[in-house]
């Protein structure tokens, strides 16, 4: 016969699975990001850098130089 889990064990397992889901989601996002950057032709990379630089300056966090 299967043993029943206590409430604490249930909560711990639930939290653990949620943490695993978050890390897996983050890992796949990071992999997608690196794959996208690896596959881009150079012109697109330069264009994205230009766009990102403009965004940073709009926020006022950098001097823009």
pLDDT digits (tens, 9 = 90+) for 16-58: 999 999 999 999 998 888 877 776 666 676 777 777 776 655 5
Q: Is residue 42 assigned to a domain?
A: yes
Q: Is residue 55 assigned to a domain?
A: yes
Range of the domain at 46: 18-59
Q: For residue 5, is it left (φ>0), alpha (ψ between -120 and 50) or beta?
A: beta
Q: Is residue 53 assigned to a domain?
A: yes
Structure confidence at residue 23 (pLDDT): 93
Q: Is residue 38 assigned to a domain?
A: yes
Rounded to an integer, what distance in angstroms lies between the CA atom of residue 25 and that of residue 63? 34
Q: Is residue 9 assigned to a domain?
A: no
Q: Is residue 8 assigned to a domain?
A: no
Q: Is residue 25 assigned to a domain?
A: yes
Q: How many domains does the chain have?
A: 1
Q: Is residue 39 assigned to a domain?
A: yes
Structure confidence at residue 27 (pLDDT): 92
């Amino acid at each position: 016969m299967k043993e029943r889990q206590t409430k604490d064990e249930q909560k711990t397992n639930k939290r653990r699975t949620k943490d695993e889901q978050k890390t897996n989601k983050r890992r796949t996002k990071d992999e997608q990001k690196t794959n996208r950057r690896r596959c881009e032709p150079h012109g697109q990379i330069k264009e994205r850098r230009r766009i990102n630089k403009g965004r940073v300056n709009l926020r006022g966090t950098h001097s823009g130089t």
